[in-house]
Chains A and B, each alone.
Chain A
Amino acid sequence: NAGVTQTPKFQVLKTGQSMTLQCAQDMNHNSMYWYRQDPGMGLRLIYYSASEGTTDKGEVPNGYNVSRLNKREFSLRLESAAPSQTSVYFCASSEVWASGGDNEQFFGPGTRLTVL
């Protein structure tokens, strides 16, 4: 199993350009997440998808859109990139049980994005 994969690994954009970050998981998880991590800081949740067909805003959603394409794939789109969006982006997935128990999230290797 590959776990959680992300593409691309690195990307440089100019201000105003758009791009889509791709994420896929092969663990049959219902829930998927996008986080960003700025230098020296912890991760902040951008958007999440509790299950296929649903998406919700996290802590820092402005400037981003997401699509849960199917159960495996969850993409993050920057419509008009800004230098403030320079960051490392992590995708994660988990199987959350309503009756309690694990919310162990499995993370991808990250996409390092620089906006000039």
Chain B
Amino acid sequence: DAKTTQPPSMDCAEGRAANLPCNHSTISGNEYVYWYRQIHSQGPQYIIHGLKNNETNEMASLIITEDRKSSTLILPHATLRDTAVYYCIVNLIPDYKLSFGAGTTVTVRA
């Protein structure tokens, strides 16, 4: 599986968009990009995933570059409840294994 690189931490103001970068320069053509988050030692929570196209759901948007070597997770209007560790993962479908790195600790400030 491809490795990912994320900044260790970032701050965001409440109500503003939070843009979380992820580098996955060794991603292969059939690997998906997944984002999960973990709020204060709870079990991780799925956010979104994509292959080539940009994706949007009720939680976030995922922007994948054309060469697929990097992506950005966008939380459009961050709230204090979005404070969490965010994990960017590349996963081969139908591989069963998700490899979690250290993630990005996002702190949303009032």
Contacts and interface: CB of A to CB of B under 8 A. Distances in A.
A96 B44 contact: no
Given A97-B94, A100-B94, A42 B42 contact: no
A98 interface: yes
Contacts of A88: 41
21 contacts: A33-B96, A35-B100, A41-B102, A42-B87, A42-B103, A50-B96, A88-B41, A92-B44, A96-B93, A96-B94, A97-B94, A98-B94, A100-B93, A100-B94, A103-B32, A103-B93, A103-B96, A104-B49, A105-B44, A106-B46, A110-B43
Band of interface residues on A: 20 to 34
A104 B91 CA distance: 11
Residue among B49, B96, B102, B103 facing the most chain A CB atoms (10 A cut-off): B96
A31 interface: yes
B94 A103 contact: yes
A42 B96 contact: no
Nearest to A51: B96
Interface of A: 4, 31, 33, 35, 41-45, 48, 50, 56, 58-59, 88, 90, 92, 94, 96-98, 100-110
Interface residues of B, number: 23
Nearest to B34: A103
B7 interface: no
B22 to A, nearest CB: 14
